[in-house]
Structure formats: structure tokens, C-alpha cells
Amino acid sequence: MSEPSKEFETEENARIGENTEKQDEKFVTNLGTTDPEAVSREPNRPGDASTDPESRVAELQAELTKYKDAALRAAADLDNYRKRVSRERDESIKYANTAFLERLIPILDNFELGLQAARKAPEAAPIVDGLAMVYKQLQDFLTNSGVEPIDAAGQTFDPNLHEALAQEENHEVPEGKVIRQVRRGYRLRDRLLRPANVVVSKGAPQQVVARGEGE
């Protein structure tokens, strides 16, 4: 009974030894592929920092300059935007009452006409002073709001401020001057609210000029 056991042990030992050799070979193979020295001996790839440090530094400096320029442009755009918003806000506040003042001016015109008519009626004398005070208050309100009247009589015709209703020949008023103002104009600071309606002189009549030259 002892001999078969020895034979079995011999075969088992042989099989174990064969497996051990295969595992050793596999280990050696794997070890060869992960050898640090083998990896370190691989050639450096293009673009690695270790290949050309100066080139890499130059690339980083170029990127830094690009981002710095972009940051400066963004800061300038933001500053311009803030200035534009501030300017628009100031203008909105400055001209916020434009529509209201434009509607108030015709009322002031009618009030002035009524006051002129009342002054021509002796029986209305007791109330003229009161109407004059109200008219003065309206004028003061417009002045405090930045509204300025445009008195065009005797001034040179300006299409930016005046609206010519007619032209007339005149011996005394030179050509291009305003003979009379039909309706007063107004402006809100530097913005025109309503042009002044005027009559403009054409100068002296032609026949008078010709007779004067013949003499």
C-alpha cells in the first residue's frame, strides 16, 4: 500500500513544479513591462516640458499676455458701460418732466391772452392783479424747472430756434431779421421744447431800392 502513495506524491509534486515554473515565467514577463528603468528609457514625446523648457515658458508667457489683454479690454468695456448708464440716468432725470412741461406751455399761452384781455376791460381791474400774480407763479415754476423763453423779436432768424410763418418787406428791419414774434418759444435747458413762431424781414422793397440807386 505504501508504493502507490509514493507514486501519487511524485506525480503531484511534478505537477506543482510545472505550475510554479509557469507562474515564474508570467511574473518575469509582467515585471519586464513595468520596469521603471525601461519606462525611463522611453524617448520623450513632443510637447513635454522636459524636451524644451524655454519653449514651454514662452508659450505660457504668450497665454498670460493674451489673458491679460482680454482682462484689460473687459475692464475698459465695463467702464464705458458704467459711464453710458450714468449719462443716460442723468439725462433721464434732467428731462423727466419734458412731456408735462410741453402740455403746460399752451395753458400758459391761453392764460396770458386772457390776462391781456382783462387788462383792456376797466371793470375787470380788481381781478387783474390776482391773475397777474398767478401768471407770475406759473412763469417762476417754469424757470425753476429749467424752462427758458425764446424771445426772437429783432434777432437773426435761426431755424434751430425759430419757425418762420411768413416773410414781409420792411424798410427798417434788415433782411433775415425777425420783424415780430407771433408765439413765444421755449427750451428746456439745451433741448428745444417749442420753436418761436416769427415773421421774417425780406428787406426794403425792390422799387424803393431801385429809385434810390437812380437818384
16 confidence band (pLDDT: 50, 70, 90): low
86 confidence band (pLDDT: 50, 70, 90): confident
Spatial CB neighbours of 188, under 8 Å, sequence gap ≥ 6: 95, 98, 101, 145, 146, 147, 148
Q: Is the pLDDT of residue 157 over 60?
A: yes
Write down the pTM of the prediction: 0.55
Q: What is the pLDDT of residue 72?
A: 92
Q: Is the pLDDT of residue 151 over 50?
A: yes
Mean pLDDT over 129-146 rounds to: 90
Q: Is the pLDDT of residue 199 over 90?
A: yes
Mean pLDDT over 120-145 rounds to: 87
162 confidence band (pLDDT: 50, 70, 90): very high
> Could you give the C-alpha distances from 150 to 9, 108, 129, 142, in angstroms and in order?
129, 14, 25, 13
Q: What is the pLDDT of residue 182?
A: 93
Cell reading at 146: 429749467
Cell reading at 113: 391772452
Q: Are 207 and 173 in contact (CB under 8 A)?
A: no
Cell reading at 94: 434732467
| Partner residues linked to 163 by β-bridges | 197
Chain centroid, CA 8 distance in Å: 99
> For the purposes of burial, counting CB atoms within 10 Å of the CB of 196, is it exposed (0-12), middle (13-18) or buried (19 or more)?
buried
CATH match of 149-215 with 2.30.22.10: yes
Q: What rounded mean pLDDT belongs to the chain?
A: 79
